[in-house]
């Protein structure tokens, strides 16, 4: 987005992370604003929206809901607090920020929302039922809001990445790095995703070039969703 000249706001719970990210992104062009806020809480969301309102005279061209966390556990191992924390972080933040930003998006000539779901929101990927539920909810929220807000000229789309090289993934597999090789083998493009792969799809959906695209769920997954199962009729070039 920044390389295309956009002006953006980034947020995270920790002020130090926001400052570091803004410094890094400022070299790409555009203009970066940062604010520390916990958007899994009502207070954090209210503070963030108030900050955004003060930047662009109460107008917002694009909202990207990219907040997420996961605790990879089977249903009988997940605690009640882990359940509620994932719900608050992954889906509550998305639903409430959409609701709160609606007036700002309406004032834009090309308001756009992009919700970042996951391959786990479309099929079972072994990442845990709670995480999968939250990401599936984002998919359905996207479709419903696209229809609800269509007459207002606000587009709503969803991007579903597969495993990408992020700090969250690195933490999840640190005890068993072999998982990453298994992922590569199961993916038709035979590699992990990169953050830039997802970012490119998000940027496109926010642009005027995507002005007639809404209610769509786009998998950025190296072909994982298309294959269903990579059976023996698909040769492995490494063999």
Catalytic residue annotation: 131
Beta carbons within 10 angstroms of residue 60's beta carbon = 22
Residues 6+ apart with CB under 8 A from 202: 1, 64, 66, 114, 116, 159
* 156/44 Cα distance (integer angstroms): 23
Question: How is 151-217 classified by DSSP, letter by letter?
Answer: GGT-EEEEEEE-SBS-HHHHHHTTT-THHHHHHHHHSTT-S-B-HHHHHHHHHHHHSGGGTT--S-E
Residues 6+ apart with CB under 8 A from 124: 132
* Residue 150 per-residue DSSP state: G
């Amino acid at each position: 987005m920044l390389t295309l000249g956009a002006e953006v706001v980034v947020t995270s719970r920790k002020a130090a992370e926001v400052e570091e990210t803004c410094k890094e992104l400022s070299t790409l062009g555009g203009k970066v604003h940062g604010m520390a806020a916990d958007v899994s809480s009502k207070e954090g969301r209210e503070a963030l929206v108030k900050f955004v309102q003060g930047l662009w005279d109460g107008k917002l061209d694009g909202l990207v809901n990219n907040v997420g966390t996961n605790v990879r556990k089977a249903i009988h191992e997940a605690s009640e607090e882990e359940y509620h924390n994932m719900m608050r972080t992954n889906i509550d933040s998305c639903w409430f920020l959409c609701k709160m930003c609606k007036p700002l998006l309406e004032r834009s000539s090309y308001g756009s929302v992009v919700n970042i779901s996951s391959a786990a929101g479309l099929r079972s990927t072994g990442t845990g039922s709670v995480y999968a539920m939250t990401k599936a909810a984002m998919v359905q929220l996207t479709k419903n809001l696209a229809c609800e807000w269509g007459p207002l000229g606000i587009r709503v789309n969803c991007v579903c990445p597969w495993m990408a090289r992020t700090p969250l993934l690195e933490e999840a597999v640190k005890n068993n790095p072999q998982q990453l090789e298994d992922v590569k083998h199961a993916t038709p493009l035979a590699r992990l995703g990169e953050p830039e792969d997802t970012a490119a799809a998000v940027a496109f959906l926010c642009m005027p070039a995507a002005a007639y695209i809404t209610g769509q769920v786009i998998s950025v997954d190296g072909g994982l969703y298309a294959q269903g199962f990579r059976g023996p009729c698909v040769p492995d070039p490494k063999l």
